[in-house]
Amino acid sequence: MIEVQEFITRRNKLYDKLKDNSVLILFAGVSVKRSADETYPFTINKNFYYLTGIEQEGSILVVSKQDKAINESLFISEYDEVKEKWTGKRLRVDEAKKKSGINNIFYLNTFQSEINTIITRKKIGVERISTIYLDLEPQNMLDNFKTTKDYLEIFELNYPWVTVLNIYNEIIRLRMVKSSAEVEELKDAISKTNIGLKQILKNLKPGKYEYQLSSLFYYTIQDNDHSELSFPTICASGVNATCLHYPNASSKIADGDLVLFDLGSQNNYYCGDISRTYPANGKFSQRQKDIYNLVLATNKLVAESVRPGVTLKELNDIATKNLAEGLLKLGLIENESEVRKYYFHSIGHHLGLDTHDPSIREEPLVSGNVITDEPGLYIKELGIGIRIEDDILVTDDGSYVLSGKIIKEIDDIEKAMESI
């Protein structure tokens, strides 16, 4: 669990970046309409959660910095007995204080007037608010019609002396460097993912349908700890695995197929993201072994290359070169430039509260970053798609593979499938 003190520390780091005479407004978001009166399950805005520890939809954080003094307030929905009877318990003021470490808790129906007061207030000897910070990430929905961009227009219209700035990058910079508590959260997410993968190894065999394995993974992580998926599970057999984000999971698994799993369990919102590729019948053919071992060697080479100072692009170049040389040796391409035919994504991404954790991709890695290492080869003509994905912590002097316990050697996989 992330302790409340850590949410406070994160906020203070962000507040150091705010200009004086400014106000920061961040939104938790709302659930989005699905059909008729049904909504998609609510997912908290992760920038909001990262800073507040609050998970309740509709909540708003307002922070003013004037004369260097910080004043923070959290707005939550009003207590409503009837609503609670229909849709369950909402946060009480005391709970919101305890979870966030914010002392001033208000109800949402006072938000508009409070904001107006803060922005227009003139105090003797104190300058008026001249900057408003919003998280202007695209598609940041505040309801079914409004995004933070609409707020930008409203503020610029109502308060013409104010400049609206985007706080997104400052929050992302904080999120990119994980604390030791966050690394523990990620380790737990990965362990939970491994519990699901072990069930898959026990149950995978020809004749099963892909969806039986993807639903087994979901059942297992739910059964274990009521955990949620990091993202919809990819279970792709044979040629289906040559589609990177194969969405259907509807095919019958054939004898002799490889089956690619790309999946993850969350742990307190922190996301595991692991790919493994297993032989449906428990044994790799020689052809499959050759291609699998090339992807595995690339995965290991990249892991060894991760250290502070290196960029994701450089890691991708290392992976691409190794895959190209290997494909050439296997006679699958005639010159190295053809590698993109079979490896057409990138080596990885930052990982955290989001699976594709927001990041400034071009920046060299620093200690505390967590990234994925996910080379793959997708050879349609052979009906083979292989991806091996690990989650890696950048340390002061190199890296640590957080998913090192999840088996990936051919012998280990075959042994695990044999002992069924």
Q: Which two tokens stand for residue 21?
A: 């005479």
The gap from C-alpha 195 to its chain's centroid, in whole angstroms, comes to 20
DSSP-derived secondary structure letter, 278: E
CB nearer to ligand GLY: give 63 or 221.
221
CA distance 379 to 342: 6
Residues 61-100 vs ligand GLY: string with x where CB under 6 A?
Answer: ----------------------------------------
Burial (Cβ within 10 Å: 0-12, 13-18, ≥19) of residue 160 = exposed
Q: Should residue 218 be labelled a site residue for ligand GLY when binding is judged by CB under 6 A? A: no
Query: 227 phi and psi, to 5 degrees?
Result: -85, 155
373 binds, among Mn ion, ligand GLY, none (CB under 5 to 8 A by kind): none
- Report which of 188, 225, 172 is spatially closest to residue 391, judged by C-alpha positions: 188
Pairing relationship of beta strands 22-27 and 131-134 according to DSSP bridges:
parallel
CA distance 369 to 174: 10
408 binds, among ligand GLY, Mn ion, none (CB under 5 to 8 A by kind): none
User: Which CA distances in Å does 87 have to 37, 45, 90?
Assistant: 13, 20, 9
Q: Residues in the site for Mn ion, rule: CB under 5 A?
A: 262, 273, 372, 389
CB nearer to Mn ion: give 291 or 371.
371
Q: How far is the CB of 349 from ligand GLY (least distance, A)?
A: 6
- Residues in 269-288 at the binding interface with ligand GLY, rule: CB under 6 A: 273
Pairing relationship of beta strands 234-237 and 258-263 according to DSSP bridges:
antiparallel
Looking at 231, 281, 367, 410, which residue binds ligand GLY (CB under 6 A)?
Answer: 231
Q: How far is the CB of 381 from Mn ion (least distance, A)?
A: 24
185 binds, among Mn ion, ligand GLY, none (CB under 5 to 8 A by kind): none
Q: How far is the CB of 214 from ligand GLY (least distance, A)?
A: 13
CB nearer to ligand GLY: give 210 or 374.
374
Q: How far is the CB of 238 from ligand GLY (least distance, A)?
A: 19
Q: How far is the CB of 232 from ligand GLY (least distance, A)?
A: 9
Q: Which two tokens stand for residue 58?
A: 């509709």
231 binds, among ligand GLY, Mn ion, none (CB under 5 to 8 A by kind): ligand GLY
CB nearer to Mn ion: give 72 or 389.
389
- Report which of 362, 332, 331 is spatially closest to residue 346, judged by C-alpha positions: 362
Q: How far is the CB of 291 from ligand GLY (least distance, A)?
A: 19
What does 294-322 look like in DSSP terms, one character per residue? HHHHHHHHHHHH--TT--HHHHHHHHHHH
Q: How far is the CB of 349 from Mn ion (least distance, A)?
A: 6
CA distance 3 to 48: 16
CA distance 269 to 398: 26
Looking at 210, 262, 357, 391, which residue binds ligand GLY (CB under 6 A)?
Answer: 262
- Residues in 350-379 at the binding interface with ligand GLY, rule: CB under 6 A: 355, 374
DSSP-derived secondary structure letter, 109: G
Q: How far is the CB of 221 from ligand GLY (least distance, A)?
A: 15
User: Count residues contacting ligand GLY (CB under 6 A)?
Assistant: 7
Q: Which two tokens stand for residue 196?
A: 């699901």
Q: How far is the CB of 391 from ligand GLY (least distance, A)?
A: 10
15 binds, among ligand GLY, Mn ion, none (CB under 5 to 8 A by kind): none
CA distance 278 to 314: 29
CB nearer to Mn ion: give 100 or 277.
277
Q: Should residue 389 be labelled a site residue for ligand GLY when binding is judged by CB under 6 A? A: yes
What does 153-193 look like in DSSP terms, one character per residue? HHHHHH-TTPEEEE-HHHHHHHHHS--HHHHHHHHHHHHHH
CB nearer to Mn ion: give 142 or 370.
370
CB nearer to Mn ion: give 11 or 276.
276
Whole-number CA gyration radius for the chain: 24
Residue nearest to ligand GLY (CB): 262
CA distance 88 to 9: 31
Q: How far is the CB of 270 from Mn ion (least distance, A)?
A: 14
CB nearer to ligand GLY: give 188 or 390.
390
Query: 376 phi and psi, to 5 degrees?
Result: -155, 160
CB nearer to ligand GLY: give 48 or 261.
261
CB nearer to ligand GLY: give 135 or 390.
390
Per CB under 6 A, residues contacting ligand GLY are: 231, 262, 273, 349, 355, 374, 389
